[in-house]
């Protein structure tokens, strides 16, 4: 009901719910919401179709697409969506990660800090920018360091909610490494908070996932202390 006592119809209630979910950054599922036919259309056709629709959006906004600076924008945006910032939607782009035997017998935690996160808020399609800090304890196998970055990048390159991103990365690492001993912390700024709405440019959002031995207080504290180290690089 509106403040003046007028009843809302169903469409208005649905619209208010949708707006509230977006402003509160609420996600609905662990898996990224995708239709079953999401990849029946190839990338080139997707680029062509997105270019057409984005051109219409720019026309609706009154932009002059005959201007040299704007004429190529619909194609650039379409190509960027498919090939770059949303490339993580396509399972074909999943990093190829190989396991190696832990020949060094290194049984302490391995921590990779300050992995760059560039993602996109699924509610407003504006950037999420931050850092991911990942750790695991070997269960007899290890992966190349760069593969951790690539896994973070893969799940970041799609419309996201930070909580889901955190869990997706953690679950993938646990699956690949065949261990529950995985931890991840993400600290990120959301431009849907900074550039619109409340317009708070100072805040950031921190999410975490701790599994296996990282649920133990001493192991979790050790991991968090490593995040405070300044390597000077």
C-alpha 132/C-alpha 152 separation (Å) is: 8
> In the annotation, is 25 catalytic?
no
66 is catalytic: no
Q: Angle 29-161-84 (CA atoms, 0-180°, nearest 5)?
A: 110
Tell me if residue 159 falls in helix, strand or coil: strand
Rounded to a whole number of angstroms, the CA Rg of the chain reads: 21
Instruction: Kindly tell me the burial class for residue 51, based on how many C-beta atoms sit within 10 Å of its own C-beta (0-12, 13-18, 19 or more).
Output: buried
d(CA 132, CA 4): 47
Catalytic residue from among 160, 168, 172, 192: 192
Please name which of 40, 58, 51 lies closest in space to residue 79, comparing C-alpha atoms: 51
**Among residues 25, 51, 133, 190, which one is catalytic?**
190
Our answer to whether residue 190 is catalytic in this structure is yes
In the set 122, 133, 160, 172, the catalytic residue is 122
Catalytic residue among 25, 51, 124, 133: 124
Told to judge if 121 belongs to the known catalytic residues of this protein, a careful annotator would answer yes
Annotated catalytic residue within 25, 51, 162, 172: 162
Q: Of residues 25, 121, 160, 168, which has the active-site annotation?
A: 121
- Catalytic-role residue among 25, 123, 133, 172: 123
Q: Which residue, among 190, 189, 186, 188, has the nearest Cα to 227 in the 3D structure?
A: 186
- Beta strand pairing call for 109-121 and 205-210: unpaired
For the annotated catalytic residues, the residue numbers are 121-124, 162, 190, 192
């Amino acid at each position: 009901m509106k403040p003046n006592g007028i009843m809302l119809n169903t469409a208005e209630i649905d619209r208010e719910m949708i707006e509230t979910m977006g402003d509160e950054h609420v996600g609905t599922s662990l898996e990224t919401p995708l239709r079953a036919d999401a990849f029946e259309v190839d990338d080139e056709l997707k680029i062509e179709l997105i270019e057409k629709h984005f051109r219409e959006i720019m026309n609706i906004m009154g932009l002059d697409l005959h201007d040299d600076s704007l004429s190529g924008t619909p194609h650039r945006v379409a190509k960027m969506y498919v090939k770059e910032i949303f490339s993580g939607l396509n399972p074909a782009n999943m990093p190829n990660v190989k396991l190696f035997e832990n020949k060094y017998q290194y049984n302490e935690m391995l921590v990779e800090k300050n992995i760059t996160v560039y993602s996109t808020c699924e509610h407003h399609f504006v950037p999420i920018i931050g850092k991911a800090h990942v750790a695991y304890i070997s269960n007899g196998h290890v992966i190349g360091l760069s593969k951790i970055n690539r896994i973070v990048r893969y799940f970041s390159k799609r419309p996201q909610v930070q909580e889901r991103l955190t869990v997706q990365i953690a679950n993938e690492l646990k699956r690949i490494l065949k261990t529950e001993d995985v931890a991840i912390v993400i600290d990120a700024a959301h431009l849907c908070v900074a550039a619109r709405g409340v317009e708070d440019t100072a805040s950031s959002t921190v999410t975490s996932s701790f599994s296996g031995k990282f649920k133990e207080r001493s192991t979790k504290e050790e991991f968090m202390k490593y995040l405070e180290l300044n390597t000077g690089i």
